[in-house]
Amino acid sequence: MSLSTQISKNIKESRNYLIGLIIIFVILLFIQFVLPRFKYNNEGFTVPSPASSSTSSTSLSDMKKKIFFVSNFPTEKFKKVYETKMGDNRYVSFWSRDDNKDYFPVGQIAITTDQQATQSDLDQEKHKGLSYLVKGAAFPLDYDKIWDNKSDSSKPPLSIWKVIPPKDHYAMSDLVVAGFEKPLLSEVRCLPKEVLNINTNGVNMALWKNPFPSNKTKGGEDISPPNSFSVWNIGKETNGFFFVNNSYQKPTARNDKIFDINPEIINNQETDPEESGKILKVSLKI
């Protein structure tokens, strides 16, 4: 074998050896850095959601997570948060629902009555917002205060808060507190857009304007005095959910934040396996 032939053979063998080393190196990189990001279950490999910036929020990229709803109307679990007599001598009251283990409310409702309200004034067909508890949805990120009556010591303490949801999640209502402290993040859950339908009704009727309107424009609209606010029924009227504005005007700027729970989700009944089938839930993979 000539010297040139031997050199050519050695170069070829070295090149093949180098290619083999590169392939092994790439495989080792895949095993160390890529494969751990995958999880295997009986439905195949899935990529888990990236780490969230907040441990309290639910990631929509976790495609194997389930959201469970409870849909019932146990009036004994409903609690009156705040009630007051309005300027027209009628009453407005705000209601929430107790959580149940890992299931939490999706919002509060507001109702008006001729007399002081009791649990018997709550009706499943008219106040469906109290029907729902949810498991697996996201905590709020925070709350923004809309209004409070700290400046009026003659009135029982009241503050009203807007829920700040995580990205691609929505709050079904604002929150009322019989005091001045910010609500706990565990007070409600925010729902992902996959389980919601946008509501074209937007803002409906005013439930409460405080103080009671006394002046109108030439066009017949109520003139908002300083430190006034108004409470409005939103979305599907029979849910009872509400938004609050720090004037007498409709909070129309929040129309794109008004949603209803998709009825197909509520009708898709399953049993939560962690609850041993005690209560019938509805679920959705997202």
Q: Residue 169 in 3-state DSSP? A: strand
Q: End-to-end distance of the chain based on CA atoms, in angstroms?
A: 68
Q: Residue 34 in 3-state DSSP? A: helix
Give the pLDDT mean for 179-198. Answer: 95
Q: Which amino acid is at 145?
A: K
- The predicted-structure confidence for 52-103, as pLDDT tens digits, reads as follows 333 333 333 343 467 888 888 999 999 999 999 999 999 999 999 999 888 9
Residue among 244, 243, 252, 240 at smallest CA distance from 228: 244
Q: Between vectors from CA 249 to CA 248 and to CA 251, what angle results, nearest 5°?
A: 120
Band of residue 137 on the pLDDT scale cut at 50, 70, 90 = very high
> What pLDDT is attached to residue 186?
94
> What pLDDT is attached to residue 7?
61
Give the pLDDT mean for 123-128. Answer: 94
Cβ-defined contacts of 249-254 (< 8 Å, 24+): 249/224, 250/203, 250/206, 251/203, 252/202, 252/203, 254/203
Other beta carbons within 10 Å of 23: 10
Q: Between vectors from CA 216 to CA 213 and to CA 221, what angle results, nearest 5°?
A: 95
Q: Residue 111 in 3-state DSSP? A: strand
pTM of the entire structure?
0.74
Give the pLDDT mean for 227-239. Answer: 95
Give the pLDDT mean for 105-124. Answer: 97
| 195 neighbors 286 (Cβ within 8 angstroms) | yes
> What pLDDT is attached to residue 217?
87
Mean of all residue pLDDT scores within the chain = 83
> What pLDDT is attached to residue 55?
36
Q: Residue 231 in 3-state DSSP? A: strand
CA distance 276 to 279: 8
pLDDT at 168 over 90: yes
